[in-house]
Amino acid sequence: MHIPDGFLDAKTWISLSAISAGVVAISVARANKKLGEKHIPLMGIMSAFIFAAQMLNFPVAGGTSGHFMGGVLATILLGPFAGVLIMTTVLIVQCFIFGDGGITSLGANVFNMAVIGSVLGYLIYFTFYKIIKGKTGRFIGAFIAAWSSIVLAAGFCALELAISGTSPLKVTLTTMLGVHCIIGIGEAVITVAVISFVLATRSDLLELEKI
């Protein structure tokens, strides 16, 4: 889902870069205010963890495979602003070092995968967590948040490509949403499984201070 350079036209990538830069700036300000020294190595190592977890593939229908994105997981564990920073870090490394995505489309990729996943994911998760008490609320919230983070990211990706005039909206949107509805289930089940595993072994880690 990383958009390379050249797929977006000037108006799209400039405005998305501006939005993403704004959100990242807010997150940086929040992190500077609330971040203890202890969080500095923690955030970096969590970025490496998300990066490594993304390397583990799972099968999707028809012989293709998807991989874990982890935006919602990072958000649930460390809070939405930390989530934005962690995912942005991962995306920067993937762009500069591995050539996944481009420089001009970095803003769009950060918007799709870091901003939407973390901010909306956090809102969805916490709404359910507050309404339904206990474990069930946590799991349902995590499931829906993780699924919608993938589907929304795919939807926005298709929308951005269509606005740029690169591909027709109808075809791209239906194929992207269709495929990512299934990948989203994978993401959601994995996120819930990770949370239930952490809950069973070290439940104190789910109560870390959120940024």
Partner 1 sequence: MEHSFIDKYSDRDSLLHRLDPRVKIICLVGFIILMVLTPPQYFHVFGQYFLVVVALLAISRIPFWFFIKRSLIVIPFVIAIAFFIPFFKEGRTAFILDLWLFKLSVSYEGILIFWNVLAKAWLSIMALILLSATTKFSRLLKGLEKLKFPKVLIMNLSFMYRYLFLITDEAQRMGRARNMRYFGGQFFRQLKVLGNMIGSLFIRSYERAERVYAAMCARGFDGTARTINPLKIQVRDLCFTVIFSAILMFIFVGWYI
Within positions 159 to 178, which residues make up the interface with partner 1, using CB under 8 A?
161, 165-168, 171-172
Number of residues that bind partner 1 (CB under 8 A): 71
Q: Which is nearer to partner 1, 93 or 123 (CB)?
A: 93
3-state secondary structure of 127: helix
Please state, as a whole number, how many other Cβ atoms lie within 10 Å of the Cβ of residue 61: 9
Q: Least CB distance from residue 110 to partner 1, whole Å?
A: 11
Footprint of partner 1 on residues 91-110 (CB under 8 A)? 92-93, 95-99, 102-104
205 binds partner 1 (CB under 8 A): yes
CA distances from 129 to 78, 138, 154 (A): 15, 5, 25
DSSP 103: S
Structure tokens at 189: 């089940």
Q: Closest approach of Cβ 80 to partner 1, in Å?
A: 15
Query: Given candidates 12, 20, 75, 88, which one binds partner 1 under the rule CB under 8 A?
Result: 88
What is the nearest approach in angstroms of partner 1 to the Cβ of residue 15? Answer: 15
Query: CA 27: distance to chain centroid?
Result: 15
User: What does the CA dihedral 185, 186, 189, 195 come to, rounded to 10 degrees?
Assistant: -130
Asked if 55 is part of the footprint of partner 1 (rule: CB under 8 A), the reply reads yes
